Chain A
C-alpha cells in the first residue's frame, strides 16, 4: 500500500464520481450523469455491452479526457489532464495496448519506470521481477513490434505494475487472449486483488464471475447497477444450483415431483440458463426468469434441447444448508435413473441478472 493511500481516510472510496458526464462534440453522450463509488480493496467489474461508455469512464479517471460535467476523484484527488498525483496511484492497462514497436520490453518498462520517477536501484530489479512474473523473460531481446496479442497484453500488465500503484484499471484485459493466457490473467487479478483495488472493464461475464467481488453495470453511458456480486445475483431468481441431466424426460418430471417433498428445496425443470446439449433440436419449453422483485415469470420460448437431456434449477431456501440440500437432490437424481452431467453453482445468475438489467433499462424508456 502506498503512503498516499495509507494517509487517505479509510472510509474514502478508491474511486468516486459525481454526475460525471462526457458528451462528444455536442452529439454523442458517452457517459451520462454517472455516480459511482468503488470501495477500497475491491475487485470491481465494470460491465456493459460494447459502446456502453466503459472505456470513456476509465479515460476520464486517467485524465486522458476531460469531463463535460461532473467530477471524478481517485483516493480523494480530483482527476484531470495534469493530475500527476492521481495517475501515480493508477496502473492502467488499455484494451489491446498500443505499445512503441521499436522498443524492447526492458527499454519500454525502464521508460515507464522513469516516468513514475523510480530511482534506478528500485526500477531495475522491479522490471526484472515483473518480466519474470508475466512470463516474458524469454522475449527480452525481441522488439515489441514482433509480439503477439497475448505477449502485448502481458507486457501491458507489467507496465501497469511498474509504479506499484494501489489502484489498477484494466480495460478488457482478456480481449484476444488464448485460454491459457486468459487463465493466467484472471489468476493474476485474483492474486493482485488481495493487496490492491482493481477495476476490470469487460463485457465478458465469465471474467466478472470469476474474479470480481463488486460490480457496476453500464448501459448507454449510464450506471444502471452498482453493488456486490451477491446483490446482483439476488436480483434474479435465487437458483443456487443448476443440474445438467441426461435421461428420460418422464424421469426428470418425476425428479421435480419428488423434490417438491423435500423441505426448503425447490426444483424446476427449466431452461432460463443456457442449455448444454449433445444433439440440439428445437422444442417448446417453459422458460422461467425472475423479474426485478424476484418473482418468477413464465413464458413460452423455443430453446434447443434433446428429449434425453434436461436442465433443472435448484433453489435452496434461506436457512437450509446448501450442501445437505444438494446431497438430497443428488440422491433423488440417482433414484430417478438420471445421469448427472454437471452441477453449476449460481454460474449463470450474473448473466441472467445482467441481461435482465439491460432489458429493464431498455423498457423504462422515459423514466430513465
Chain B
C-alpha cells in the first residue's frame, strides 16, 4: 500500500548494510550507507566499480533486499516487503533505466512502453496512446514500430527512458545509463533526462562513473567501499532554458566550462603549445 509522504525526502536510507557471499567469503557491498534524496532531485551516485553504486540503486529500487538498515521510498519501508509487494511497488513507483537498455526484444518500441502501462491495468488503446506520447517526448515517435534490434543504442536508451516514465513513477533509477553509448549520444541522453526532470519534476537517481554524467548532476553523491564519502549540490535546480539542438547548452555551467576546456585541449594550437590540463572534479 502506498502511503503519501508530505516530507521533502522521497528516498531515505539509514545505516544500510548489504553483504554478498561467495561460498563462505563475505564481500560487503554496502557498509552503513546514510542518504536522503528530495523530491524532484536530479542526483548522481558516483564512484569506482565495486563501490556499491549499483547495489544501492537495486536496493532502493526494491530489486534486491539488504541485510540491515532502513530504506524508505515514497513513505514505504521497502525492506519489509515480500516479493510480490516489491514487484507491485516497483510497478507503481519506480522507473528503471538500465546500462544495457533491457528492452523486451520481441516487442516493438511502442509495445515495450505500452506493456508497463498495461501491467498497471490500462487497456490496450489507452496504453498505446501513452506510449505514443512518451515516444514523442523522447523524439522517437517515428520509430515506435521498430523492434529493439532495429534501433541504435542511443535510440534504445531513449525508448527505455520513455518506458521508465510512462507509468508516471515517483522516481527514475538509472544504472550507468550512458555506459553503452558513445560520448555524444550519452550527452544527449543526459540532456533528455534533465529536460524530463525539469518538465515533470520526477526524481532521478543515476549511478555512473562517466564524467559527463557527473557534470550533468545537480547533486553528486560519491560512494567508496560501500559508504557515502562525499555529497554536494552543484547548481541550484533552477532549470536553464532548454534547447535540443546543442547538448552542451543544457549542461550546468561548471560542466559547460569543463567541456569547453576539454575541447580546447584536444585542438592543437599553431605554436604547438599544450592546452590547459582540466581539473578533476
Query: Are A and B associated in one complex?
Result: no
